[in-house]
């Protein structure tokens, strides 16, 4: 397997199994590869060790859990990710420069600064307003060509246009354009956010950077607006609506599916999809 694809698939595996026992040995064994070789290429491709990556993903996901489950005990959230109460507080503080309790108290419910555009304030709607544009849908599997980007989500629009120009020969009337996002940029360091830009394709397209996006049940919010407002909308959904909805997000990536892109006016029509 191509080394980039191997590292990419290992990241997918780690993110989907954060609440389980993970180590260099277990991840390398899952892919039937030497742990010494895997350790080296993971660090070369990502810039960090596998241990460091797993640790920060667990702490960041625990912060997401606090956001989505405001009544769940902090000690229980820490235990879910393998930490005792005292150890969890120490690890969390080292990562986010605050205690879990103070982090929970600081969670925004009405507005917040945009982390990659600090001159802007994201203002949230009410839970009822988000609910009016939300529905539960069953999505099918689809095969995609994709490129993974690790970095600031503010660069996504530029990356999308480069991707579309690169793979324009694959575009058809029924092509699905989507992105898989793995991090909350209000929690994860913006330079470490992971996103896959995807275009549906035939399985025999002859490219190596391909994968299946699995379907299933998704909560779908229908968005029609400026690209710069996507962050504000997603933060409102996750901060205001989802904690009160009674729905539980599945341990996997979020999915954005585009229906139209207006490059000139920086506007899109798209579905913001949360796995349940």
Q: What is the dihedral of CA 72, 108, 274, 59, to 10 degrees?
A: -60
Taking only the tens place, the pLDDT of each residue in 190-208 is 889 999 999 999 999 999 8
Residue/partner pairs of 130-133 with CB below 8 Å, 24 or more apart: 130/221, 130/236, 130/237, 130/240, 130/241, 131/241, 131/245, 133/221, 133/222, 133/223
32 backbone dihedrals φ, ψ, rounded to 5°? 55, 50
Token look-up 């599945």 returns 250
In whole angstroms, give the CA distance from residue 118 to residue 223.
23
**DSSP at 164:** H
Token look-up 């879910």 returns 80
3-state secondary structure of 210: strand
| Per-residue pLDDT in tens (0 to 9) along the chain, 276 residues | 788 889 999 999 999 898 888 999 999 999 999 999 999 999 999 989 999 999 999 999 999 999 999 999 999 999 999 898 889 999 999 999 999 999 999 998 899 998 888 788 999 999 999 999 999 999 999 999 999 999 888 899 999 999 999 999 999 999 999 999 999 999 999 889 999 999 999 999 999 899 999 999 999 999 999 999 999 999 999 999 999 999 999 878 899 999 999 999 999 999 999 999
In whole angstroms, give the CA distance from residue 170 to residue 164.
9
Note the pTM of the prediction, 2 decimals. 0.89
Residue 126 near residue 240, CB atoms below 8 Å = yes
CA of residue 89 relative to chain centroid, distance: 24
Dihedral (CA of 83, 253, 49, 231) sign? negative
Structural domains present in the chain: 3-106 (1.10.10.60), 134-275 (3.20.80.10)
198 backbone dihedrals φ, ψ, rounded to 5°? -130, 150
């Amino acid at each position: 397997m191509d080394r980039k694809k191997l590292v990419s698939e290992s990241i997918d595996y780690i993110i989907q199994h954060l609440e389980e026992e993970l180590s260099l040995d277990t991840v390398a064994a899952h892919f039937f590869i030497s742990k010494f070789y895997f350790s080296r290429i993971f660090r070369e491709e990502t810039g960090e060790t596998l241990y460091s990556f797993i640790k920060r993903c667990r702490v960041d996901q625990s912060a997401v859990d606090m956001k989505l489950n405001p009544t769940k005990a902090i000690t229980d959230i820490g235990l879910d990710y393998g930490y005792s109460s005292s150890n969890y507080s120490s690890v969390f503080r080292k990562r986010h420069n605050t205690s879990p309790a103070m982090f929970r108290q600081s969670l925004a419910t009405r507005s917040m600064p945009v982390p990659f555009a600090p001159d802007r304030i994201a203002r949230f709607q009410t839970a009822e307003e988000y609910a009016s544009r939300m529905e539960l849908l069953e999505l099918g599997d689809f095969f995609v060509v994709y490129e993974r980007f690790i970095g600031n989500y503010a660069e996504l629009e530029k990356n999308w246009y480069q991707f579309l120009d690169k793979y324009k020969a694959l575009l058809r009337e029924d092509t699905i354009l989507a992105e898989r996002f793995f991090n909350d940029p209000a929690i994860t360091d913006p330079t470490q956010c992971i996103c896959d830009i995807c275009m549906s394709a035939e399985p025999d397209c002859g490219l190596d950077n391909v994968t299946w996006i699995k379907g299933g049940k998704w909560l779908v919010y229908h968005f029609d607006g400026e690209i710069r407002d996507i962050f504000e909308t997603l933060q409102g959904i996750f901060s205001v609506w989802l904690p009160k909805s009674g729905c539980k997000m599945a341990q996997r990536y979020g999915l954005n599916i585009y229906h139209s892109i207006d490059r000139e006016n920086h506007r899109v029509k798209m579905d913001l999809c949360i796995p349940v």
